[in-house]
Amino acid sequence: MKINSRIHGIIDYLIIIFLFLSPSVFGVAQTTSIFCYGLAVIHLVMTICTNYEYSLTNFIPFKIHGKIELFVSLALVVVAFYLGTIDGFLSKELFIGLAIFVFVLWLISDYTNKPESTRDIPYVESNSQGGMI
């Protein structure tokens, strides 16, 4: 089963909320908190700039968004082990879980589908004097 860009966008915003709330909810150490907040901001910027339904701008193609998510899911495993040595087991498990979630999201998303709504400027015909027809 593949999910479309609309559902993927909703999940992206839920991930951002999760990342912003994680330090408070789980009581992780300072370094892990910084990584959570930093990743939340980066993910928010990427989400609002991706060409899909719930974005504010459309300059990152959805296919590129998918490639970035694949890279991030793999990088999060490295970050998890790094944070595990600094902040302990909870930090490691939090980021391993996040890495798995982002990877599964990447696996089940259809990055070839086009957003259902486009923000193109509509074509309006005009006569030779510049008035609209």
Phi and psi (nearest 5°) for 60?
Answer: -100, 115
pLDDT at 104 over 90: yes
**Residue 117 pLDDT:** 53
Residue 124 reports pLDDT greater than 60: no
Contact (Cβ atoms closer than 8 angstroms) between residue 23 and residue 85: no
What residue segments make up the domains of the chain, in order of their start? 5-108
Are 9 and 52 in contact, with CB atoms under 8 Å apart?
A: yes
Find, among 22, 6, 13, 40, the residue nearest to 97 by Cα. Answer: 22
Buried b (16+ CB within 10 A) or exposed e, 111-132: bebebeeeeeeeeeeeeeeeee
pLDDT at 121 exceeding the cut of 50: no
Structure tokens at 122: 């509509």
Which tens digits make up the pLDDT trace of 33-69?
A: 999 999 999 999 999 999 988 888 888 999 999 999 9
How many other CB atoms sit within 10 Å of the CB of residue 60?
18
What is the C-alpha end-to-end distance of the chain, expressed in Å?
46
Locate 20 and state its tokens.
């912003």
